[in-house]
A and B are shown apart, each in its own frame.
Chain A
Amino acid sequence: MVKLMKRKELEQHLQELDGFSKPKILLEQYETRAHIAACMLHTIESAYGDLCGKTVLDLGCGCSVLGVGSVLLGASYVLGVDIDEEALKISTSNINQFELNEVDLLHTDVKILPLLLRGTQKFDTVVMNPPFGTKHNKGLDSLFLEIGLQCLSDKGVLYSLHKSSTRDYFHRKAPSWKVEARVLAELRYDLPATYKFHNKTSVDIEVDFWRFEKKN
C-alpha cells in the first residue's frame, strides 16, 4: 500500500497545472483552484478511500485538475469529459506534464453521456466541479449532478461542489435520486475576477463540498 500524499504536497503539484487561457462565460469556466481541489481529493481518499484503485469520472473536466489529482492519489483509471475542445487541449498538456498514462479524455456533451456508456461499465467514483448554474445556465448544476449519478455503479459515490445557497434544494432532492447526501465541508471559493462583469479583483462565494452515495 502506497502512503497517501500529504495535502500540501498535492496542492503544490496541482498549482503547476495550466488553467483556462480564454475562459468561456457561456460554459461558466471557472478553474478549480489548487487549494480547493487538493482539499476535496485528499478528503475523498483519506476519509473514504474512494480514489485509490478506482475508476473515476471527471465530469465537465475543464483543465483536468481533479482528474490529474485523482491519479496522483492512486486512481487506476480516469475519464475526463468536456464539451470544450480548448479545455481538452489544456487537459492534454496538463496530463502530459505529469507523464500520467491513466487518464483518457472524451469530447462530448455531458447531456448525452449516459447514452454513450455501456450499462454494466459504470464508474466507482465521480468527481466534479460543475457550472454553478447561474446566469445563462440555470439548473445546469442540478443536471450535472443527475447525469453524474446515472454514470455511477451501484455502490458508487459522487463528490461535487455546489453553491451553499442551493443546499436545501439538494437535501430535498436526495431521496428521489436514491442517494444519501451529505455536506462534508463549507468552503470559500475564491473566484478570481475571470470575467469582465466581476468588478472586484476577486469574489468569495460560499460553496458546499458534497458527498452523494448511492442507496440500494
Chain B
Amino acid sequence: MKLLTHNILTSKCLKGVTVGYPLGIVCHTQAKEVKVNEVEFNPEFISRMIQKVDWPALCKAAENLGHSDDLPPAVVDDYENNEEFLKKAHHFLMEIEVINGDLICPETGRKFPVTDGIPNMLANEDEV
C-alpha cells in the first residue's frame, strides 16, 4: 500500500464514525514491513496530486513510519517548479509501501489489517 492510497482511505463506512480520517498506521516490525519501490517520476502528475492530497495526513503517515524528518511540514508555494520538493512528494506518495501492519480508525480504534501490501477494509454487517 502506497501512502497515496493511504491518503485516500477513510473509515467512514463504520457506524457512528463521522470523519474517520486520517487512518493511523502501525507496522509490526518496521524494518521488514515497509518497502521502497522505484516508480518513474512524473512531475506533472505529482503536481496534480499535490493539489488533491491531504498534506498533513501524508506527514502523519510518514511520521507513523518513522520518516517524518525527511518530509517538509507544508506544501511549498512554488511546488510546481520545485523539483526537489516534487521528488520528495513523489517518493513519499508513490515509492514507500506498507507491506504488513494495521490501519487504525482514529475514532473507534478498529484495526484494518494490511497483509502483503493489501489493506483489508471489509466490514461486518453489524459494523456499517
Contact = CB atoms under 8 A, between A and B. Distances in A.
Interface residues of A, number: 23
Interface string B76-116: 00000000000000000011000000000000000000001
Contact of A107 (B13, B38, B42, B118): B118
Contacts of B117: 92, 104-105
Contacts of B21: 118
A104 B120 contact: no
Contacts of B75: none
Contacts of B64: none
B89 to A, nearest CB: 13
B118 A116 contact: no
Contact of B118 (A83, A88, A112, A118): A88
A79 interface: yes
For the residues of B in contact with A, the DSSP-based class is loop
A53 interface: yes
B122 A117 contact: no
Interface string A69-104: 000000011010001000010001000000001101
A79 B121 contact: no
Contacts, number: 74
B10 A118 contact: yes
B61 interface: no
Nearest to B19: A118
Contact of A116 (B1, B12, B52): B12
Given A112-B121, A116-B9, A116-B121, 4 more contacts: A102-B94, A116-B13, A117-B9, A118-B8
Interface of A: 53, 55, 76-77, 79, 83, 88, 92, 101-102, 104-109, 112, 115-118, 120-121
29 contacts: A53-B45, A76-B45, A77-B4, A77-B45, A77-B94, A79-B8, A92-B116, A92-B118, A101-B38, A101-B94, A101-B95, A102-B94, A104-B2, A104-B4, A104-B5, A106-B5, A106-B9, A106-B118, A107-B120, A108-B122, A112-B13, A112-B128, A115-B10, A117-B10, A118-B8, A118-B9, A118-B54, A120-B52, A121-B52
